[in-house]
Chain A
Amino acid sequence: MLLKNSYLVFKKDLSSELRTRYVINSLLMFVLVIISIIRFAIGDEKVDNEILTGLLWIAIFFTSVSGLSRTFVKEEEKETSFSLKLSTGSNSVILGKLFFNLILTFSLNLLILFLFVIITDYEIKNFSGFMIVIVFGNLGLVSASTIIAAIISKANSKGTLYPVLSFPVLLPLLITVINATKLASVGVETGKLLGEIQILLSYFIVVTVASLMLFKYVWED
């Protein structure tokens, strides 16, 4: 029942997104802008992987921060949150939105990574390990961003508040994931990254469980 309802919330978000292109168009442009800024900042310099990984995660962080809040802000702005509240329980709403944001972030990150590798000669020596770290990093990133998006959708000055609120919460994840992707890109074996992957996975579980427990206080009036 819960899963079915969350799937319906997800489907509703996806089809409304495909119909209106509320987020995706501006996000694609945002990705292009940030990638070209990186390109022009670097110029023809040869930059080593340590700095490139940092730049990659700056691009990923700001893209998520500018896109992921839309799922909840949209409900408030279009005043659809009441009918959603009437239609289904809070847990299916957060799970559905979480799933929608996951799909959105994964596809955007693949695009960012693709453009980034083309533009900067970013060399990834351990590609499978790198992708595993990206996947687990995204899980935690999305889960923390989604609950914070729910919080700020009720506040004023949403745009500036979102990065301010999410940064301290995301920092443990960002430090770990930046370090792990850096190691993978210089060719450290996946087995040696297990510690980092464990941290990323447990961060995801802890934050998701906390969001599931707390979301009803944010959502219900």
Chain B
Amino acid sequence: MKNFITYAIFVIISAVIILGLALPIPDIPALGDKARVLYFHVPMSWISVLAFFMSMWYSIRYLKTRDHNYDIKSYSSAQLGFLFCILATATGSLWAKFSWGSFWNWDPRQTSIFILLLIYGAYFALRSAIESEDQRAKLSSVYSIIAAVTVPFFVFIMPRIVESLHPDPILNTQGKINMDSSMLTVFLSALVGFTMLYLWMLDLKIRAEKLNYKKLSLTD
């Protein structure tokens, strides 16, 4: 079963990469072929947010049960989330260079992902500054929950400050997606494929961290 999932992820992501570049896409005003980045950028952004909230969820579970496995899960999810967050920033920034003319111009979307990066960075800085295992698990859980409750404020704040040039208002006028069926298929398979990749990597990461933890507690 495990092998089957691994192969499925491989097939889906290869297909997304090939078809995403090869298949024609409908004409989107002002975007054109540059819209192809959404096959990669959107799943990355989605996973970096998903991983953040999964990390918070495991933090809550840890505080409730004090089961160290939850801390391992929370930490692993945060690490992967950070990786995907960097990838989302990089893909978005590349795209911004060719559409808006500069890699970084503090568009609300860029500001939000910058804050997500900051939160991840602060979380890892906190973890590396605490020596005791239990304290580390407890304090970083509390921090990730505090950070997570303040994140939704950006939904209300950012539109008040500046107008976004980010293109989902174009793709997404009146809440419906104007993609044709082939584009939609590739896009949805990209979402599914990358999410499966994230879950698979998470599983791997958790198993590795558990072995690591076991080794550390044996040598103590």
Residue numbers of A with Cβ under 8 A of B are: 144, 147-148, 151-152, 154-157, 161, 164-165, 167-169, 171-173, 175-176, 179, 195-196, 199, 202-203, 206-207, 210-211, 214, 217-218
- Residue B8 lies at the interface, judged by CB distance under 8 Å to chain A: no
* Cβ A151 vs Cβ B143 within 8 A: yes
* Cβ B130 vs Cβ A155 within 8 A: yes
Residue tally, chain B, CB below 8 Å to A: 29
In the complex, the chain B residue whose C-beta lies closest to that of A180 is B160
Distance of A132 Cα from B131 Cα, bound (Å): 43
- Residue B4 lies at the interface, judged by CB distance under 8 Å to chain A: no
Distance of A8 Cα from B130 Cα, bound (Å): 31
Which residues of B116-145 have CB atoms within 8 Å of chain A's CB atoms?
Answer: 118-119, 121-122, 125-126, 129-131, 135, 138-139, 141-143, 145
Distance of A24 Cα from B138 Cα, bound (Å): 31
Contacting residues, chain A, for B121 (C-beta < 8 A): 164
Contacting residues, chain B, for A167 (C-beta < 8 A): 118, 122
Which residues of B29-69 have CB atoms within 8 Å of chain A's CB atoms?
Answer: 63
Q: Which of B129, B139, B157, B160 touches A157 (beta carbons < 8 Å)?
A: B129
* Cβ B130 vs Cβ A154 within 8 A: yes
Interface string of B140-159 (1 = CB under 8 A from A): 01110111011101101100
Residue numbers of B with Cβ under 8 A of A are: 63, 115, 118-119, 121-122, 125-126, 129-131, 135, 138-139, 141-143, 145-147, 149-151, 153-154, 156-157, 160-161
Q: Known contacts A207-B149, A214-B146, A218-B142; is A165 also within 8 Å of B125 by CB?
A: yes
Distance of A130 Cα from B151 Cα, bound (Å): 26
Contacting residues, chain A, for B146 (C-beta < 8 A): 144, 147-148, 169, 207, 210-211, 214
Q: Known contacts A175-B161, A210-B145, A210-B146; is A168 also within 8 Å of B118 by CB?
A: yes
Q: Known contacts A151-B139, A161-B125, A217-B142; is A203 also within 8 Å of B153 by CB?
A: yes
Q: How far is the CB of B145 from chain A (nearest CB, A)?
A: 6
In the complex, the chain A residue whose C-beta lies closest to that of B132 is A154
Q: Which of B135, B138, B157 touches A199 (beta carbons < 8 Å)?
A: B157
* Cβ B139 vs Cβ A218 within 8 A: yes
Most buried by A among B129, B130, B151, B154: B129
Distance of A109 Cα from B118 Cα, bound (Å): 27
Q: How far is the CB of B134 from chain A (nearest CB, A)?
A: 8
* Cβ B142 vs Cβ A151 within 8 A: yes
Q: Which of A164, A199, A211 touches B125 (beta carbons < 8 Å)?
A: A164
Contacting residues, chain B, for A176 (C-beta < 8 A): 153, 157, 160
Q: Known contacts A156-B131, A218-B138; is A165 also within 8 Å of B143 by CB?
A: yes
Q: How far is the CB of A180 from chain B (nearest CB, A)?
A: 10
Contacting residues, chain A, for B142 (C-beta < 8 A): 147, 151, 214, 217-218
Contacting residues, chain A, for B126 (C-beta < 8 A): 151-152, 155, 161, 165
Most buried by A among B115, B125, B141, B142: B142
Distance of A156 Cα from B131 Cα, bound (Å): 8
Q: Which of A157, A172, A218 touches B150 (beta carbons < 8 Å)?
A: A172
Q: Which of A161, A165, A169, A172 touches B157 (beta carbons < 8 Å)?
A: A172
Q: How far is the CB of A166 from chain B (nearest CB, A)?
A: 9
Contacting residues, chain B, for A199 (C-beta < 8 A): 153, 156-157
Contacting residues, chain A, for B147 (C-beta < 8 A): 168-169
Contacting residues, chain B, for A156 (C-beta < 8 A): 129-131
Q: How far is the CB of A210 from chain B (nearest CB, A)?
A: 5
In the complex, the chain B residue whose C-beta lies closest to that of A203 is B153
Contacts A202-B153, A217-B142, A218-B139 given; 8 further ones with Cβ under 8 A?
A147-B146, A151-B142, A152-B126, A154-B135, A164-B122, A199-B156, A203-B150, A207-B150
